A and B are shown apart, each in its own frame.
Chain A
Amino acid sequence: MKNGMVIDLDRCIGCQTCAVVCKMHNSLAPGVWWNRVFTQGTDEHQTAVGENDNLQMEFLPVSCQMCSDAACEKVCPTQASYYDQNGTVLVDYEKCIGCRYCMAACPYGVRQFNWRDPRETKAEAAHETAVALDAGLATNEAELGGVDRWSFARTQVVEAACLLGYPNPQFEGAAHHLVYTQNRPRGVVEKCTFCAQYTQNGELPACVRACPAKARSFGDLSDPTSEVSRMLASCSTVRLREDYGTEPKVYYLPPSNRKA
């Protein structure tokens, strides 16, 4: 079995739903994106490129390309980056020592590093939340005779905001690699796992399930009857930077340029 993905760029409308559902389900801290959608040729998403009537707006979703010959895996000194039995490139968070060789090696810039404990970042983003509790609350408690229920409610909200995302850890293979945990430890590298917490249980990655444009397909590239195999057989596809020889397992159907 060899898991891969096909993304139809004609269908992609650049809505970033894949990026957001990835972020929410994988409990990514603020600033971290495993999956991003670019507008080719500009830094401003969903703006035009070109001049006058000769304009275009083409989107490119990019997450881990799940290379078959992955530079990240080669350079990892601890074998924290590895292939699972389906060819998916994963990171064992318990083995990663944070040397970031993999980040330097990855030609796609999809790996991200936890400089801090993500829980800190999340707690800060949940904010200001904290501040909303402020002095007003304390006086109010006094007025209410020390009843603690209001503050109880607010702290619950803060806590819930910090604990969004798929909650349970995911261990992979006989070696019990820790490949998903809601809050990655400080000092490890993280990236797309094809949603290990879902795919290992027979479900689709969140971005595939959620794409409202139905631009993404996921499945077994070694099974000729799978949807992805049939798409590869019937359509012309491209992969990012094929010249690097990384053999990605994420394929793109290029846009068709219908314009007259």
Chain B
Amino acid sequence: MSEPYIVVNDLAKRFQIAERDPGLWGALKGIARRRYRTVEALHGVSFEIGRGDLVGYIGPNGAGKSTTIKILSGILVPSGGTCEVAGLTPWQSRVEHVARIGVVFGQRTQLWWDLPVVESFELLRDIYRVPQAHYVRERDELVELLDLVPLLDVPVRQLSLGQRMRSDLAASLLHDPEILFLDEPTIGLDAVSKLAMRDFIRRRNTERGTTVLLTTHDMDDVEALCSRVMLINHGTLLMDGTVADLRSDRRRVVVDFSEPVALAAHHSALVRSSSGERIVFEVQSRVPEFVAEVTAAYPVQDLMVEHPPIEETVAALYQQVRSVDGTGIRE
């Protein structure tokens, strides 16, 4: 990590949610006396991100990812804690701050629904005061890299999700921001669009040195892009490390035997599944020894060693937290 560029310290955010009992009686009671429930979306989150870093921010739905992004982008004021992005407090110097960042929310377009894509771009050029020469250069590069040529004259409402996301990403970068916040940029995209999206984000990060904070549910995004991952749940940061940290030291050994075998019980592995001649083992460590043992004892036709999918590890982590915490929502 280079010099700290984004510094978040003990960030907290509480929401008041009006509640009422179900049914007509509940509605009537609600008129007389409103009951509020406090939901803690963030609960003392601290981290630092260096200039030019590409950091993944993961966690289950409702964990506080989007709330963090909204605070960092200056549209939400936290209930407590401090936060500095490139020397500015986002919600205090909003106009100055948002001019330097780009934000994409995968769930919501920021383009103008009824306008052709290129007109949205031109309006953004005016709003961000991008000089015409800069604008033309940036637009042409983005249009080429994100394959937007056929989309430029199409109204946003007629775009497919993949096309819209590419246009949204381009729109967030026209003013060449130093920082890019991406909130689930690959949600709902097909495999090809996801790959294109990842490739683009990686290039932007390495070639321009744009600092990127990315939230996602797709562990492939994280594996492909992020050297560093932060995992949040129930508004608390649970893990801040590398992708390798997310992987356990377990390996999966897939063995195809040339004939059905009866396994001896003493092997130091779990049988995860077996179907016909194929048996999938899970091995904690000492993989070479296990492989030697199996090939010596049985007629082996083929053998593969793989990482367990990172999703499983992450799901296990989410699960663990839930059982420690006891309840779904902290009240």
Whether both chains belong to one complex is answered with no
Binding site for B on A (CB under 8 A): none
Binding site for A on B (CB under 8 A): none
